[in-house]
Every structure is written in C-alpha cells, then in structure tokens.
C-alpha cells in the first residue's frame, strides 16, 4: 500500500460526524511506521528529523530503533502539556532535543 492510497482510505473520516481517532490512533501510527520503514529501507540514513514530538517524534523514535539511526525532534511545547507520558518515554529515547523556550 502506498502513502497515496493510504491517504485516500483515510478520507472516509472526513465524512463522519464523530471521529473515532482515539480508538484508531494506534493503528494509524503503526501504518505510518510500516509505510515509512518500507521507504527508508531502500537507502541508508544517519538521522531522522521529527518536526513535532508527537506523533512524528514517536514514529521517528520507533523507526530509529528499526533502522539503527539517530533521531532528533523539536519540542514546541503543546505536546508536553497535552499528552501524558511524552516527557518520560518520548524525550528519553531521543538522541537530541530542540526545545522552544
């Protein structure tokens, strides 16, 4: 499945009145990880840059373990305030953190 087809399959959520995102989030994240892993295995990368800590940073963190490379993420602030557990697992797993002060 390509990313283009994946994005089309997510179009149905736009039509729903109540989004089932909390229940589907683990599956959506795993699909993103699988799709990115397939793209990244064709080349050797030294670094993964994630512009947000969540969800991009978590996806990058998992991919960095699979692909054996480093990951850097920017923390803009909302992700630490809104999402529980981010300051623990998310930040400790990163090789470098860029934080907005």
pLDDT number for residue 60: 82
Give which of 54, 98, 100 is closest to 77, Cα–Cα.
100
43-95 pLDDT, tens digit per residue, is: 787 888 888 777 777 778 888 888 888 888 877 766 665 556 555 655 666 77
Positive or negative torsion for Cα 49, 79, 83, 93: positive
Q: Which residues make Cβ contacts (< 8 Å) with residue 77, sequence separation at least 6?
A: 100
Q: Which residues make Cβ contacts (< 8 Å) with residue 73, sequence separation at least 6?
A: 49, 50, 51, 52, 53, 56, 57, 60, 61, 90, 94, 96, 97, 98
- The DSSP string of 7-25 is HHHTTHHHH-SS--HHHHH
Q: Structure tokens of 39?
A: 């793209």
pLDDT number for residue 89: 57
pLDDT number for residue 16: 52
- Domain extent listing, the chain: 3-99
């Amino acid at each position: 499945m390509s990313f283009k087809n994946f994005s089309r399959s997510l179009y149905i959520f736009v039509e729903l009145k109540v989004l089932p995102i909390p229940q589907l989030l683990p599956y959506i994240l795993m699909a993103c990880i699988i799709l990115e892993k397939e793209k990244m295995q064709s080349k050797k990368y030294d670094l993964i840059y994630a512009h947000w800590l969540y969800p991009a940073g978590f996806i990058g963190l998992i991919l960095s373990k699979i692909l054996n490379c480093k990951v850097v993420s920017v923390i803009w602030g909302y992700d630490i305030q809104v999402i529980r557990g981010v300051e623990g697992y998310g930040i400790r797993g990163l090789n470098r953190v860029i934080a907005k002060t």
